[in-house]
Amino acid sequence: MARFRPNALHPLASAVTGLAAGAVLTLLWPAPLGAALGLVLVGAGAMGSIWLSERRSLAQREQVLAAVGEVKVRLATNAIRLDALSKRVEQMPMRDADAAPARAAINELTAEVGLLGDLIHQVATTLADHDTTLATLQSRAMPAAAPELHAVAAPPVVVDPEAARQERLRVLAAERAEAARQAEEHAAAEQASVISTALSEGRVEVHLQPIVQLPQRRTRGYEALVRLRLDENTLLLPHEFIPVIEERGFGPTLDALVLTRALAIARHLGSKPGELFVSCNFSTATWNSSKALATLSRILDKYREHTGHLVVEMPQKVFRGLDPTSLGLLGAMSANGVRFALDELADLRVDPVALFDRGIRFVKAPAALLMEQADNQTADIAPSDLAALLARASVVLIADQVADDPTVADMIDLGVTMGQGLVFSPPRPVKPDVFAEPAPASAAPEPPPVAVAEARTAEVVGYPAPAPAPPPEAPPERQSFRSVLRRATA
């Protein structure tokens, strides 16, 4: 059964019904009683018509207000879209002559949206004034026999146009901020999904930045810096994807991938002359998890023959907060030949002997920190003495984040023997053949097929075998210019 809705009736329906019922009752009942009841029904019908008319007007007013609110929301959304479109146009690589028409059109649309918003605000203000006027007239039309009703009647509401405009601007700003926040959350969720997909597919790249000997600037090692490849043209830096990976708990997975690539680089460096090494970093989640450290320790134990060219960097904050279990795993890695480097120094309060006992062979201090402590007269230790103090414990000081040549000169004056930074070389990608498996050692080369064929032919026909080719003559001995000059002047 359909629900009865009073708002669906016409306001005159009640009056007509009451009039018809009163007329019928007047005709059917005796004259005095029928006439009285007929008048009562006619009055009830008239009051019902008035009630229906008021309900319809209230419903129409609510519909108008709802429509006004919806229009305001749509205008705010369009304003946000226009703002985003304007930013995109500003970021597009266009000439000023080509971008001028688009900017003019966007400015015109923005002005029209603002004008429509003002008109809607005027409509809402007019409706509020209308309601206030009706309430005032009704309060004046009340009978004088009820003064207490006049006393409790609400005072008329005076709408301040400036306050209303400020309120509208505040609401619009809040709506824009909420829309921007939702857009940022949606973009962050999409980026996190893309990063997780790239990590699961193993699209991790390693770039190497050299660590050089000072002052010769001869390469002594490399630091493996991780990058994440999203597509052919997009390569993310660590600060762009490391927080997302650590938030989702994928830090140990990334560290395992980086460690295997660093071990492949260490294997390649082992075939080169010189004591070259490669260093890599672990995430904070890995250092705080004994289970993750045990997994990486098993990987290092499997490739023990290459760990002599591997250095694992550890932040100073992490080193000071390691638990006994992690310290034991650190000792196991050190027993397998892994060397460690203390990284991300916040201060120079270090104990070289304790660092050496924990397997730390390098200390990487930012060049800015060394320069700051050099100018600080109240420092715990002078940076000029730090390199010598560490060297006595067989620990090497590396100046990190060296940006220009004057800083290089300052590091040399402080006695720093190794440096790393953009002034020496930016991080560069690793060649693919470095990660390729080494080819197995081949047996002694077989004689050329032509020589074998000639020998067999000689045996069959009866001709003597061809004489062997004479050995190549030794190249003449090169003499220095000084010896030749000495012989000529003797």
Rounded distance, CA 79 to CA 366, Å?
47
Average pLDDT of the chain is 76
Task: Specify if 166 maps to a domain.
Answer: no
Q: Choose among 204, 319, 328: nearest CA to 259.
A: 204
Task: Tell whether the model's pLDDT for residue 277 goes beyond 70.
Answer: yes
Ranked by mean pLDDT, which of 46-50, 146-150, 211-215 comes out on top?
211-215
Task: Specify if 249 maps to a domain.
Answer: yes
Task: Tell whether the model's pLDDT for residue 320 goes beyond 70.
Answer: yes
Q: Which DSSP string corresponds to 238-307?
A: HHHHHHHHHHTT-HHHHHHHHHHHHHHHHHHHHTSSS--EEEEE--HHHHT-HHHHHHHHHHHHHTGGGG
Residues 310 and 398 placed together within one structural domain of the fold = yes
What is the maximum alpha-carbon separation in the chain? 166
**Which of 434, 454, 477 is a domain's end point?**
434
Residue pLDDT, tens place only, 227-264: 988 888 888 888 888 888 888 888 888 888 899 899 99
C-alpha R_g of the chain = 44
The first and second tokens of residue 349, run together, are: 């309060």
Amino acid at 43: G
**What's the CATH code of the domain at 415?**
3.20.20.450
Residues 262 and 375 placed together within one structural domain of the fold = yes
Rounded to 10°, the helix 290-302/251-270 angle is 20
Rounded distance, CA 191 to CA 243, Å?
12
Work out the pLDDT band at 74, boundaries 50, 70, 90: confident
Residues 319 and 423 placed together within one structural domain of the fold = yes
Residues 116 and 241 placed together within one structural domain of the fold = no
What is the count of structural domains for the chain?
2
More confident residue, 190 or 313: 313
Mean pLDDT along residues 307-326: 88
DSSP code at position 6: G
Residues 218 and 340 placed together within one structural domain of the fold = yes
- Specify the range with the lowest mean pLDDT, choosing from 28-32, 173-177, 297-301: 28-32
Residues 213 and 134 placed together within one structural domain of the fold = no
Structural domain of 44: 7-140
Mean pLDDT along residues 39-63: 72
Residues 109 and 230 placed together within one structural domain of the fold = no
Rounded distance, CA 138 to CA 48, Å?
19
C-alpha neighbours within 13 Å on the C-beta side of residue 131: 14
**Which of 387, 410, 434 is a domain's end point?**
434
Q: Is 235 exposed, middle or buried (0-12, 13-18, 19+ CB in 10 A)?
A: middle
User: In the prediction, which pLDDT does 457 show?
Assistant: 36
Rounded distance, CA 414 to CA 409, Å?
9
Task: Specify if 337 maps to a domain.
Answer: yes
Residues 300 and 414 placed together within one structural domain of the fold = yes
User: In the prediction, which pLDDT does 481 show?
Assistant: 45
User: In the prediction, which pLDDT does 486 show?
Assistant: 53
Token pair 């070289």 in the structure block, residue: 352
The answer to whether the CB of 217 falls within 8 A of the CB of 249 is no
Task: Specify if 490 maps to a domain.
Answer: no
Q: Choose among 284, 264, 248: nearest CA to 206.
A: 264
Q: 431 Cβ partners below 8 Å, 6+ apart?
A: none
**Using alpha carbons only, what angle is made at residue 186 by residues 184 and 192, rounded to the nearest 5 degrees?**
100
Q: What are phi and psi of 385, to 5 degrees?
A: -95, -15
Mean pLDDT along residues 147-162: 54
Task: Specify if 112 maps to a domain.
Answer: yes
Task: Specify if 152 maps to a domain.
Answer: no
More confident residue, 471 or 268: 268
Task: Tell whether the model's pLDDT for residue 372 goes beyond 50.
Answer: yes
Q: What are phi and psi of 135, to 5 degrees?
A: -65, -35
Q: Is 294 exposed, middle or buried (0-12, 13-18, 19+ CB in 10 A)?
A: middle
Residues 130 and 259 placed together within one structural domain of the fold = no
User: In the prediction, which pLDDT does 463 show?
Assistant: 40
Residue pLDDT, tens place only, 181-233: 888 888 888 888 888 888 888 888 899 999 999 999 999 999 999 998 888 88
**Using alpha carbons only, what angle is made at residue 64 by residues 61 and 68, rounded to the nearest 5 degrees?**
140
**Which of 140, 159, 192 is a domain's end point?**
140
Task: Specify if 182 maps to a domain.
Answer: no
Residues 243 and 114 placed together within one structural domain of the fold = no
Residues 136 and 216 placed together within one structural domain of the fold = no
The first and second tokens of residue 387, run together, are: 């390199």
Rounded distance, CA 412 to CA 367, Å?
11
More confident residue, 241 or 364: 364
Task: Specify if 285 maps to a domain.
Answer: yes
